[in-house]
C-alpha cells in the first residue's frame, strides 16, 4: 500500500486511521443501550457446527465465542462487527488511493463512508452482513490492485479472501458473478482466463470446500433458505431496492457514487477498471431476481463511492475551493442523520414515538426481549408443579427462542424449542411433554394439533416500540394429538 509510483499518492494515514478509530469509538460507546438483536440471540444459542440451514458457521461461532469468553452481553458480541466496520474504512480509502486519489480524496472517502448509514447500521449489531462490510470492498480492492498493477499475488490473495468469506455467506458469489459479467462486457477480458485468476479460483474453492461439502451433503439448504426469503420478501424488495439505493450511504452521498460510475465509464486512465461500473447493473438485476434483501448492492456501491470521491474533490478544487464548506456540510449532515437513525442515541422510552423504528428495523428488533421473557415465565410458572414438569416452551421464531434461552434460566424456565430455521433440527420436544407454552404467531396454525389451546395473554414489552413480537399471542396448549415426532413438522418454517 506504500507504492508511490506516478498516479498513486501516499496513503493519508492521519485522516484515514482517525476516521476508522472514530467509527470504532462511536460503535463501542453505543453498543449496548437497547439490547440484543434477534439474530444475535439466535446465533448465541446455536450449537457449534460446520454449517446451518440458513447460513455458514462463522458469524454464529464468533457470537458464541465472544459471549462465552468475553461477556454474554451485546457490547461483547459486537466487537467483531466494530472491527469489521472500522477495517472497511481503511479498505474504502485504500480503493480511493489505488485509483489515484490524493490526501483530500482519501479524507473524504474515509470520513464520509465511516459515518454513512449502512456502515453505522451493520457495524452496530453482529450480523452476517456486518462482516460483509469488509469482505466485499476488500475483494474489489484486491481485484483493482491485481488489474492495475498486473501482479499475480493480488489475484491469489483475492482467492484467499473469497474462500474465507464462504464461511460467512455464500452471497459473495453474487459479487463475483457481477464482476465477471462486467469484465466480459467492457474488459479486460483476458484476465478471466489468466493463470493467476484460475489459481485464485482454485484457492477459493479449496479454502471454502468444507462449507461447500456441508451444503452438498445436506441438500444445499441455503438454496431452500434463499427461496424462502424470496417467497416472503420478493414483492417488497423488488420495489424498495430502488429508493434504497439513495439511502444505503445516505442521500447527500448519492452524487458521489454517481460521479464514481460516470468517471469509471468516461476516464481513459480508468479504462482497465471500468468493469466496476458495468458490474453495478448486473448486481442490481441479481438482487431484483433474488428478491431477498434490499441492502445486497451496498458492498459494490461503496466501491463506486470510493471512486467518486476523486472527481468530486477535483471538481471542488477547480471551483477555487468555494464548495468545500458545502461538501463538508453535506458529509456532516449525512453523518448526524445516519447516526440518529442507526445508533441507539434516543432513550428507549422515547424511541417508539420517533420515526426511527420505521426507518431502522434493526432498532426495533433490539427492544423488549427481557420483558417478553418475563411474560413467558409468568405463563409457564402458572402451571401446577406436576404439569410444569411435563411442559415445554415452543417459540414461533428464533428471536423469541433466543430471548428465552438468554433470559429464561434466571426465571426458572427450561430451554426453548422452535421450528424456525436451524432450531427445527436441533431439538424436538420429548414425548413425555403433554403441555406446551406456545409463544408468538404460530398459535393459530398449530392449535388444531392439540386437544385444547387456551389464550393466556399477548406479548407486550410496554415500551411503545412496534416490533414483530408486539401483540403476538401467548397460549397454553395441552394434549398433543399424536406423537411429537408426528406433529413437529407442522412447526417448521424458513424465513
Which residues is 345 bridged to in the sheet? none
What does DSSP say about strands 417-418 and 450-458: parallel, antiparallel, or unpaired?
A: unpaired
b/e burial code for range 180-208 (CB count within 10 A of at least 16 → b): bbbbeebbeeebeeeebbeebbebbeebb
Q: Is residue 4 part of a domain?
A: no
pLDDT of residue 297: 95
Which tens digits make up the pLDDT trace of 91-111? 999 999 999 999 999 999 999
Which tens digits make up the pLDDT trace of 114-130? 999 999 999 999 999 99
Q: Which residue has the higher pLDDT, 342 or 3?
A: 342
Q: How many CB atoms are closer than 10 A to CB 463?
A: 16
**What is d(CA 298, CA 249) in angstroms, rounded to the nearest whole number?**
8
Q: What residues have CB less than 8 Å from 193, skipping those under 6 apart?
A: none
Average pLDDT over residues 381-408: 96
**Out of 139-148, 185-194, 235-244, which region has the weakest mean confidence (pLDDT)?**
235-244
Average pLDDT over residues 359-370: 94
Q: How many CB atoms are closer than 10 A to CB 303?
A: 31
pLDDT of residue 176: 96
**What is d(CA 458, CA 372) in angstroms, rounded to the nearest whole number?**
9
Which tens digits make up the pLDDT trace of 297-343? 999 999 999 999 999 999 999 988 788 999 999 999 999 999 999 99
pLDDT of residue 103: 96
Nine cell digits for residue 450: 392439540
Q: What is the dihedral of CA 483, 486, 490, 491, to 10 degrees?
A: 60
pLDDT of residue 261: 97
Q: Is residue 7 part of a domain?
A: no
**What is d(CA 23, CA 115) in angstroms, rounded to the nearest whole number?**
7
Average pLDDT over residues 275-288: 96
**What is d(CA 404, CA 125) in angstroms, rounded to the nearest whole number?**
20
Which tens digits make up the pLDDT trace of 28-47? 999 989 999 999 999 999 99
Average pLDDT over residues 261-274: 96
Query: Do 306 and 272 fall within a single domain?
Result: yes
Q: Which helix (H) or strand (E) holds 430?
A: none
- Say whether pLDDT at 7 is over 80: no
**What is d(CA 393, CA 275) in angstroms, rounded to the nearest whole number?**
53
Q: Is residue 420 part of a domain?
A: yes
CA–centroid distance for 148 within its chain? 30
**What is d(CA 107, CA 69) in angstroms, rounded to the nearest whole number?**
36
Query: Do 96 and 236 fall within a single domain?
Result: yes
Q: Is 480 helix (H, G, I), strand (E, B) or coil?
A: strand
CA–centroid distance for 239 within its chain? 20
Q: Is residue 395 part of a domain?
A: yes
Query: Do 49 and 142 fall within a single domain?
Result: yes
Domain extent for 211? 13-350
Averaged pLDDT score across all residues of the chain? 94
pLDDT of residue 186: 95
Query: Would you report the helix, strand and coil content of the chain in percent, each value rounded to 5?
Result: 65, 5, 30
Percent share of the chain, pLDDT over 90: 84
Query: Do 284 and 396 fall within a single domain?
Result: no
Q: Which residue has the higher pLDDT, 448 or 225?
A: 448
In which band, very low, low, confident or very high, does the pLDDT at 230 lie, cut at 50, 70 and 90?
Answer: confident
Give me the count of residues in the chain. 495
Query: Do 380 and 338 fall within a single domain?
Result: no
- Say whether pLDDT at 145 is over 80: yes
Query: Do 211 and 260 fall within a single domain?
Result: yes
In which band, very low, low, confident or very high, does the pLDDT at 5 lie, cut at 50, 70 and 90?
Answer: very low
pLDDT of residue 3: 44
Q: Is residue 342 part of a domain?
A: yes
In DSSP notation, 232-245 reads: HHHHHHHHHHHHHT
Nine cell digits for residue 316: 471542488
Query: Do 329 and 393 fall within a single domain?
Result: no
Q: Is residue 280 part of a domain?
A: yes
Q: Is 478 helix (H, G, I), strand (E, B) or coil?
A: strand
Handedness of CA 244, 247, 251, 256 (dihedral sign): negative
Burial label, 301 (beta-carbon count in 10 A; 0-12, 13-18, 19+): buried
Which residues is 450 bridged to in the sheet? 480
Query: Do 285 and 315 fall within a single domain?
Result: yes
Q: What angle do CA 93, 168, 491 make, to 5 degrees?
A: 140
**What is d(CA 124, CA 30) in angstroms, rounded to the nearest whole number?**
8
Burial label, 300 (beta-carbon count in 10 A; 0-12, 13-18, 19+): buried
Query: Do 438 and 471 fall within a single domain?
Result: yes
Query: Do 267 and 409 fall within a single domain?
Result: no
Q: Which residue has the higher pLDDT, 22 or 51?
A: 22
Last residue of a domain, one of 319, 350, 381: 350
- Say whether pLDDT at 252 is over 90: yes
pLDDT of residue 220: 83
Backbone angles phi, psi at 458, to 5 degrees: -130, 140
- Are 457 and 474 in contact, with CB atoms under 8 Å apart? yes
pLDDT of residue 4: 38
Total tally of structural domains belonging to the chain: 2
**What is d(CA 92, CA 84) in angstroms, rounded to the nearest whole number?**
12
Handedness of CA 395, 469, 457, 442 (dihedral sign): negative
Query: Do 297 and 175 fall within a single domain?
Result: yes
**What is d(CA 154, CA 361) in angstroms, rounded to the nearest whole number?**
38
* Alpha-carbon separation of residue 449 from 374, 393, 423, 426, 435 (angstroms): 26, 16, 20, 21, 12
Last residue of a domain, one of 350, 379, 413: 350
- Say whether pLDDT at 484 is over 50: yes
* Alpha-carbon separation of residue 371 from 175, 382, 397, 443 (angstroms): 40, 17, 16, 20
Average pLDDT over residues 365-370: 96
Q: Is residue 361 part of a domain?
A: no
- Say whether pLDDT at 15 is over 70: yes
Query: Do 214 and 182 fall within a single domain?
Result: yes
Q: Is 292 helix (H, G, I), strand (E, B) or coil?
A: coil
Nine cell digits for residue 354: 420517533
**What is d(CA 422, CA 495) in angstroms, rounded to the nearest whole number?**
11
Q: Is residue 1 part of a domain?
A: no
In which band, very low, low, confident or very high, does the pLDDT at 233 lie, cut at 50, 70 and 90?
Answer: confident
Amino acid at each position: 500500500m506504500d507504492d508511490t509510483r506516478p498516479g498513486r499518492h501516499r496513503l493519508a494515514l492521519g485522516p484515514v486511521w482517525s476516521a476508522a478509530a472514530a467509527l470504532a469509538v462511536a460503535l463501542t460507546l453505543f453498543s449496548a443501550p437497547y439490547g440484543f438483536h434477534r439474530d444475535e440471540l439466535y446465533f448465541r444459542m446455536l450449537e457449534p457446527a460446520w454449517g446451518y440451514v440458513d447460513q455458514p458457521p462463522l458469524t454464529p461461532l464468533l457470537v458464541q465465542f465472544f459471549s462465552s469468553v468475553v461477556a454474554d452481553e451485546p457490547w461483547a458480541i459486537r466487537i467483531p462487527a466494530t472491527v469489521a466496520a472500522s477495517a472497511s474504512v481503511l479498505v474504502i480509502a485504500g480503493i480511493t488511493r489505488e485509483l489515484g486519489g490524493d490526501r483530500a480524496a482519501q479524507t473524504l472517502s474515509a470520513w464520509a463512508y465511516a459515518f454513512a448509514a449502512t456502515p453505522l447500521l451493520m457495524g452496530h449489531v453482529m450480523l452476517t452482513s456486518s462482516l460483509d462490510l469488509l469482505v466485499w470492498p476488500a475483494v474489489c480492492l484486491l481485484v483493482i490492485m491485481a488489474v492495475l498493477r498486473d501482479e499475480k499475488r493480488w489475484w491469489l490473495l483475492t482467492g484467499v479472501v473469497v474462500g474465507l468469506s464462504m464461511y460467512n455467506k455464500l452471497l459473495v458469489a453474487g459479487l463475483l458473478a457481477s464482476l465477471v459479467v462486467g469484465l466480459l462486457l467492457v474488459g479486460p477480458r483476458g484476465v478471466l482466463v489468466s493463470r493467476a485468476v484460475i489459481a485464485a479460483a482454485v484457492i477459493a474453492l479449496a479454502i471454502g470446500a468444507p462449507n461447500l461439502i456441508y451444503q452438498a451433503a445436506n441438500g444445499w439448504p441455503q438454496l431452500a433458505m434463499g427461496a424462502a426469503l424470496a417467497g416472503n420478501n420478493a414483492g417488497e424488495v423488488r420495489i424498495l431496492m430502488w429508493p434504497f439505493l439513495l439511502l444505503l450511504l445516505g442521500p447527500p452521498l448519492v452524487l458521489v457514487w454517481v460521479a464514481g460510475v460516470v468517471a469509471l465509464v468516461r476516464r481513459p486512465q480508468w479504462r482497465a477498471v471500468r468493469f466496476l461500473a458495468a458490474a453495478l447493473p448486473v448486481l442490481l438485476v441479481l438482487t431484483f431476481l433474488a428478491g431477498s434483501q434490499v441492502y445486497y448492492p451496498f458492498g459494490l456501491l461503496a466501491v463506486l463511492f470510493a471512486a467518486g470521491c476523486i472527481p468530486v474533490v477535483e471538481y471542488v478544487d477547480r471551483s477555487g475551493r468555494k464548495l468545500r464548506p458545502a461538501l463538508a456540510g453535506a458529509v456532516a449532515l449525512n453523518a448526524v442523520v445516519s447516526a440518529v437513525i442507526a445508533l441507539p442515541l434516543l432513550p428507549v422510552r422515547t424511541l417508539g414515538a420517533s420515526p426511527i423504528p420505521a426507518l431502522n428495523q434493526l432498532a426495533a428488533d433490539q427492544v423488549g426481549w427481557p420483558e417478553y421473557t418475563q411474560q413467558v415465565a409468568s405463563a409457564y410458572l402458572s402451571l401446577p408443579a406436576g404439569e410444569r414438569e411435563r411442559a415445554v416452551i415452543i417459540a414461533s421464531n428464533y428471536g423469541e427462542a433466543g430471548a428465552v434461552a438468554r433470559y429464561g434460566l434466571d426465571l426458572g424456565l427450561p430451554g426453548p424449542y422452535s421450528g424456525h430455521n436451524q432450531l427445527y433440527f436441533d431439538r424436538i420436544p420429548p414425548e413425555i411433554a403433554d403441555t406446551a407454552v406456545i409463544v408468538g404467531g404460530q398459535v393459530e396454525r398449530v392449535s388444531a394439533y392439540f386437544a385444547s389451546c387456551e389464550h393466556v395473554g399477548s406479548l407486550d414489552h410496554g415500551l411503545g416500540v412496534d416490533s414483530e413480537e408486539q401483540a403476538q399471542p401467548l397460549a397454553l396448549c395441552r394434549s398433543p394429538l399424536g406423537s411429537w415426532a408426528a406433529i413437529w413438522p407442522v412447526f417448521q418454517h424458513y424465513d
